Amino acid sequence: MDVVQIGGTRIFWWAKRVSDIALSLFLLPILIVAAFALAVFNPFFNPGPIFYRQVRVGRNKALFVMYKFRTMRSAPPSARFADTEAYRITAFGRFLRRYRIDELPQILNVIKGEMSLIGPRPEQPEFAREYEHSLPGYHLRHAVRPGLSGLSQVVQGYTNDTEGTQRKLALDLRYIRKCGFRMEGYVLWRTLITFATGYGAL
């Protein structure tokens, strides 16, 4: 499987990019307020830098730096699954993750064109290379911009095993093939439910 049929019309992809930019600009003041608030609270509840930066794989396998609010103590030098590092998450960091506040800085990646609000979740390069060798068709998920939220996130949730990753890959490829206003609306609706319930958060 060397190619994947990307769904959606030209109008859909134009509307998707316009809405990505518009919604990200709308959320920008909230990001600024959150950053100021964290500058005040971090020294007491989560000492250290406000932002966390990590290299991820984007569309056409282009590498980019993804932004998040930091929720852990000092990061390890190598790629690791998030759940194996759960002991490093601060109590304040758990609050940020519970309500997905830590993901808010990624609207900067959306504005820059590196990400979309909805799409396959971007992976760390080390894991992406491993999955490309072990999971047939994994590279096809890089056909579109990665997203803050995606079909595999809202349906499957977090996983760190091969079977779970295979299911998420199938969902990512389904999203790509079925791209359109209906699919986008469905993922957005499920994302709002995820925000409300905290499903998939560590």
For 123-159, write each residue's pLDDT tens digit.
Answer: 999 999 999 999 999 999 999 999 999 999 899 877 7
Are 121 and 141 a contacting pair, CB within 8 Å? no
Burial 72-83 (b: 16+ CB within 10 A, else e): beeeeeeeeeee
What does pTM read for this prediction? 0.88
116-118 and 147-149 beta bridge pairing: parallel
Which pLDDT tens digit goes with each residue over 60-99?
999 999 999 999 886 555 555 555 566 789 999 998 988 8
Q: Are 116 and 147 spatial neighbours (Cβ–Cβ below 8 Å)?
A: yes
